[in-house]
Amino acid sequence: MILVFPDVDAVADYVSDTLYTQIRSRPPMTLGLATGGTMEPIYQYFIDKVKAGNLDVSQLSIFNLDEYVGLDANHPQSYAAYMKARLFEHLPFNLQNCHVPDGKAALDANYCQQYSTQIQRHGGIDFQLLGVGGNGHIGFNEPGTPFDSRCHIVELAPRTRLDNSRFFAPGELVPAHAITMGIQDIMEAREILLVATGPKKASTMKKFVDHGITEQVPFTVLKRHPATTIVLDEAAAQALPPASYQRIYT
């Protein structure tokens, strides 16, 4: 199901409401969370709603999708730092249960396998939030990644490094490798919500509707998932045939 909202604020309002409702209905749940520019307004809205509604987030377990290999949690462009600054430090989470893959330990033998196993030991992910890369990647699962992959190290595609260079200081190199949950880890989530906003995602979304299910466009695998919703703003939906989505007026 593809839902299209008028703008980024309407998307953030809807997605943060969905997160809020999920957590309120089962406080000890396991969430899979994502980073990237798309998630920033969503986390801002979510923080405000949790504070206003006094929602208990202390029983949540969180597993983040990915991290750059070689960056430690204090590096400003690490996803650990992103999560801390944009979400974790704003609400009373139990930080023992908030997991971001460790970019420094990622290359240790068994680290990747342990990350997947840890998710399974928590009973799997109840609700997975996803963004999508310009080339259709989810997490950092680049085109060509097998659909049965578990947590692993990837070499980032040139397009991904270019897209993500906007978060790094001028002249600073985007790491060449990342650790990511695998596509199978993601697909085992009971419910998935993928968000894409802005005109740069219009051609990405067109690939989603134009292609069947192919490892060359990783997020097409979501067509196989029984409980996936895709949420877009008008800009990201502009190249889609109107019959492929439902427009939500707010």
Which of 4, 10, 11, 34 is close enough to bind ligand GLP by CB under 6 A? 34
Please state the closest distance from residue 95 (CB atom) to ligand GLP, in A: 21
Report the Cα–Cα distance between both ends of the chain, in Å, rounded. Answer: 18
* Residues numbered 143-162 forming contacts with ligand GLP, rule: CB under 6 A: 160
Instruction: Give the position of tokens 């097409």.
Output: 220
Please state the closest distance from residue 58 (CB atom) to ligand GLP, in A: 26
Nearest by Cα to 63 from 40, 85, 80, 46: 80
User: Of 36-44, 103-111, 115-123, 222-230, which part binds ligand GLP (CB under 6 A)?
Assistant: 36-44
> Is the Cβ of residue 35 or residue 61 nearer to ligand GLP in the bound state?
35
List residues with catalytic annotation: 66, 135, 137, 142
Q: Is the dihedral of CA 234, 237, 241, 247 positive or negative?
A: negative
H or E stretch at 183:
helix 183-187
Please state the closest distance from residue 167 (CB atom) to ligand GLP, in A: 8
Q: Kindly tell me the number of DSSP H helices and DSSP E strands found in the chain.
A: 8, 11
Which of 32, 41, 101, 133 is close enough to bind ligand GLP by CB under 6 A? 133
> Is the Cβ of residue 28 or residue 104 nearer to ligand GLP in the bound state?
104
Structure tokens at 203: 């051609």
* Residues numbered 62-121 forming contacts with ligand GLP, rule: CB under 6 A: 65-66
Q: Report the DSSP pairing between strands 191-196 and 228-233.
A: parallel
Distance between CA 99 and CA 119 in Å, rounded? Answer: 10
- Applying CB under 6 A, does 43 fall inside the site for ligand GLP? no
227 touches 189 (CB < 8 A):
no
Nearest by Cα to 106 from 115, 98, 97: 115
Which of 18, 30, 35, 145 is close enough to bind ligand GLP by CB under 6 A? 35
Please state the closest distance from residue 157 (CB atom) to ligand GLP, in A: 10
> Is the Cβ of residue 57 or residue 218 nearer to ligand GLP in the bound state?
218
Query: Which residues here bind ligand GLP, judged by CB under 6 A?
Result: 34-38, 65-66, 131-133, 139-140, 160, 164
